[in-house]
A and B are shown apart, each in its own frame.
Chain A
Amino acid sequence: MSVITIDNLKKEYSSRNFSAKKILALDGVSFEIGEGEIFGLLGPNGAGKTTLIKVLLGITFPTSGSGKLFDKDLNDVKTKTRIGYLPENHSFPNYFTGEQVLHHFGKLSGMSSEDVKLKSAEYLNIVGMKEWAKVKIRKYSKGMMQRIGLAQAMINNPDLIFLDEPTDGVDPIGRKEIRDVLLNLKSQGKTIFLNSHLLSETELICDRVAILNKGKLIKEGRVEDITSTDSYAFITSGLTDEVYNSLMNNYKAVIQSRNNFLIPANNLEEVNTIIDFLRSKNIMIQSVSKEKITLESKFINLIEHKL
C-alpha cells in the first residue's frame, strides 16, 4: 500500500515584494512512497523540500495537483493522528520544559494524559534527554532542541514521520544515535520521509531518494541504482585554470580539490580520452582509480550538469 501519493503538485508563491514575479517552489512533482520505506528528499537550498512537506501536511496549500496520505485527502484532520513531524527550525514555546513539550504536543496529537506520561519518559530516554526533562527548553543547546523535536515527532507512535533536517546542529555521535533511532523505527514498519543536505548520511539509511532542484524532481530511485555508475578518481599536479574549466564543462568532472577530481564514466574508452586530454595539456597524472560514485558526487553532478 502506498502511504504517500502525489500527482503533479505545483506550488506558486507570490514573491514578497510588490513585483508580479512568482516563485515556483514546486513545479509538477509526482511520486509514491510505500509502507515501511525510508525516503530521502535531497536538493540544494530553496529547492522546495520544506514546501513539499508543508503541502503534504496541509500547512501550505498546493496551487494545483493533488496528493494523498494513507489514501486520504491532504486536508483530512483525522489522518494527522498517524503522523509525526519535526519542522525545520522549530520553535517550541520556550517556557515549556522538555517533558512539557512532549506532553503538550502529544496530547495535541490525540493521546490520552496517561499515555503521554508513559511515552514521554520512554522517548526522552531514546533521544538521550532524560536528565534534561525538567529543564526549561530556553536553556537547551541547538542539538538538544533537535533531540526534543525528534522525540516530539515520535511520541504519538505515528505510522508516518516527516523529518526536516533532523540532524541539523547535532554532533556526530548524536547523528549516529539519530540514525539508529530511525533504523529502529523502520524495523517497526514505520514510513519515514527525510529532508536532508547531509548526503553521506542519507545514503546510509535511505532506501530510496529523490533529488529536487528548483521545484522539479530531477532524479528518483533506489540509492544503489542512482550511485551505480562508476567514476574514476584522478589525482594530478599542475592543473591550470583552462584545463580545470574544461574538465568541469566538457567532462562533467566533480572537483574535490584543486588536483583531485572525479569523472563519471562507464567505460575505459572515456577514461582514456580524458587521460589523453590531460597529457596533451602537459598535466602530470599521479593516479587514476576506479571508485564507486557516492551519492554526494552524483548529487553535485546532477545539480551542476543536469546529468
Chain B
Amino acid sequence: MELITFISGIIREALAKKIILSIFLFFSLIILFIVFAATNDSVAGMLTFLEASGGNADYRSAVIFFESNITSKIPMFMMIAFYLIIVSSFIPSMLQKGHIDLLLSKPISRTKIVLGHLLAGTAFAFLSSLFLLGTIWIIVSVKTGIWHVPFLYSIVWFTFIFLTLYSFVILIGLLTKNTILNILINLILFFPFSWIFYLLNEVTKKGEQFFSFNAVTEFIIKFFYYILPKPWDLADLCENSIKGESLGSVQPIITSLLFIGIMVSLSIWYFNKKDY
C-alpha cells in the first residue's frame, strides 16, 4: 500500500515536471516522421538495397529489414539516453533535505524505497516504449499490410536495456545526490565506455584471422566487458529476435541480470546504512 503511494508519488513528480507531456510530444514527432517515412517507396528502396546486397529478398523481408532499422543501435541509444536523462533526477530530488527526513519517518522501509524507484523507472520505460514502438508498429503494418508481430519484442528488449543502465543510475544517484553528475556518469558509461568494450570484445571473438591481442590485454578487455552493462550486445539480440533469427549467445542476458542484481543490492545496502 505505502509502496504504491510512493510509486504514484514518483509518477506525479514526472507529471508535474511536465516530463510525461514532453515525452508524449517528442515521441509524437518521431511517430509523425515515421508516418511519412514508411511509404511504399521507402520499402521498395529497402527491397532494391537488399537485392543489391545479394539476398533473395521479398517484400516481407524488406518490411522486416525496415523495422529492424527503426530499433537498431543508434535509435536505441537515443531513446534510452533520453529515458536515462529523465530518470536521473528522481533519486536526487527525493534526497532533498527536509523531504527525505519526512519520507524516512513514514512506515516504508528503505529497501522498499529503492525497489519503488526501480519499479517506477521500469514501468516508465516500458510504457514509453510501448507507446512509441507500438504506435510505429501499427503505422508500418497498416501502411505495408505486413503485420510482423516479433517487432513488438523490441519493447521488452528496450525496457531490459534501460533497466541494466537504470540500476546504475539509482546507485550513482544515491551516492552523488546530484542530477547532472548522475546523467554525465551514466551517459559516459553508456557511450563510449560500454561501446568500446563491446567493439573490443567483438574483435576478440572474430579476431584470430586478421588481428589478435596478447593474453594480458585480452584478459583486461574481457574483464571490463563482463562487468560493464551490455546495451550494445542486447541491441544485437533485439535485432536478431525481430528478424526471427536465433538469438545466439545468451551470455549478455545473464551478465546483465547479474549486473542489475549487484547494482540494486549495492544501492539497497548503501541506502540502508546512510544517515540523512
Which residue of chain A has the shortest Cβ distance to B6 in the bound complex?
A108
Q: Which of A31-39, A54-62, A286-294 contacts B (4 or more CB under 8 A)?
A: A54-62
| Nearest CB on A from B116, distance (A) | 11
Name the interface residues of A66-123: CB closer than 8 Å to any CB of B: 77-81, 83, 85, 87-93, 95, 104-105, 107-110
Name the interface residues of B233-276: CB closer than 8 Å to any CB of A: 273, 275-276
Partner of A108, one of B5, B100, B273: B5
> Would B104 and A109 count as touching, CB distance under 8 A?
no
> Would B6 and A95 count as touching, CB distance under 8 A?
no
> Would A110 and B2 count as touching, CB distance under 8 A?
yes
> Would A95 and B17 count as touching, CB distance under 8 A?
yes
> Would A77 and B107 count as touching, CB distance under 8 A?
yes
| Nearest CB on A from B276, distance (A) | 5
Interface residues of A, Cβ cutoff 8 Å to B: 13, 54, 57-61, 77-81, 83, 85, 87-93, 95, 104-105, 107-110, 152, 162
> Would A104 and B106 count as touching, CB distance under 8 A?
no
Residues of the A chain whose Cβ atoms lie less than 8 Å from the Cβ of B54: none
**B202 at interface, CB cutoff 8 A:** no
Interface residues of B, Cβ cutoff 8 Å to A: 1-2, 5-6, 9, 12-13, 16-17, 93, 96-109, 273, 275-276
Which residue of chain B has the shortest Cβ distance to A50 in the bound complex?
B101
For the complex, give the distance between the alpha carbons of A57 and B101 in Å: 9
- Asked if A105 meets B99 with Cβ closer than 8 Å, knowing A61-B275, A93-B16, the reply is no
Which residue of chain B has the shortest Cβ distance to A90 in the bound complex?
B98
> Would A93 and B2 count as touching, CB distance under 8 A?
no
Residues of the A chain whose Cβ atoms lie less than 8 Å from the Cβ of B6: 108
> Would A85 and B12 count as touching, CB distance under 8 A?
no
Residues of the B chain whose Cβ atoms lie less than 8 Å from the Cβ of A95: 12-13, 16-17
Residues of the A chain whose Cβ atoms lie less than 8 Å from the Cβ of B2: 107-110
Residues of the B chain whose Cβ atoms lie less than 8 Å from the Cβ of A104: 5, 9, 12
For the complex, give the distance between the alpha carbons of A54 and B102 in Å: 10
> Would B106 and A108 count as touching, CB distance under 8 A?
yes
Residues of the B chain whose Cβ atoms lie less than 8 Å from the Cβ of A80: 105-107
Interface CB pairs A-B, < 8 A, 23 = A13-B275, A54-B275, A57-B101, A57-B105, A59-B105, A59-B276, A61-B273, A77-B107, A77-B108, A87-B102, A89-B98, A91-B96, A93-B16, A93-B99, A95-B12, A105-B106, A107-B2, A108-B2, A108-B6, A108-B9, A108-B106, A108-B107, A109-B107
> Would A91 and B106 count as touching, CB distance under 8 A?
no
For the complex, give the distance between the alpha carbons of A58 and B98 in Å: 15
Q: Among B104, B105, B109, B273, find the residue whose CB has the most chain A CB atoms closer than 10 A.
A: B105
Residues of the B chain whose Cβ atoms lie less than 8 Å from the Cβ of A77: 107-109
Residues of the B chain whose Cβ atoms lie less than 8 Å from the Cβ of A60: 275-276
| Nearest CB on B from A76, distance (A) | 9
- Asked if A110 meets B1 with Cβ closer than 8 Å, knowing A57-B104, A89-B97, the reply is yes
